[in-house]
Amino acid sequence: MSDEDPIEFEINGELDLHTFRPSEVGELVPDYIGLCLEKDIMRIRIIHGKGIGTLRETVHALLRKDPRVSKFQLADQNEGGWGATIAWLTVDA
């Protein structure tokens, strides 16, 4: 597998970014949102981990500027706490 091969993952409303660097999620998160909307998934959980917060901040910046995101917040403790973000999507964009 080369660096150019696409990474395949299931579109189930949960995106785990543990293996990605912040510089790699700029297209991934918006693309995933689009794929979720195609499957009528309106609530997604993005797992960014706790770490130092760089990946979380990158994800939040992407969600903030995406008109298909109606709102987002850190997950409740039972869904990952501050290591994950829940976003609600809208088709009104």
Residue 93 has pLDDT above 60, yes or no: no
Q: How does pLDDT run across 2-42, given as a tens digit for each residue?
A: 456 666 668 999 999 988 989 999 999 999 999 999 999 99
pLDDT class of 92 with cuts at 50, 70, 90? confident
How far is 87 from 3, CA to CA, in rounded Å?
Answer: 29
Cβ-contact 74, 81 below 8 angstroms: yes
Q: Where are the domains of the chain?
A: 21-89
Q: How does pLDDT run across 62-88, given as a tens digit for each residue?
A: 999 999 999 999 999 999 999 999 999
Q: Which CATH architecture has domain 21-89?
A: 2-Layer Sandwich (3.30)
46-53: average pLDDT:
94
- Selection from 52, 48, 31, 41 nearest residue 84 by Cα: 48
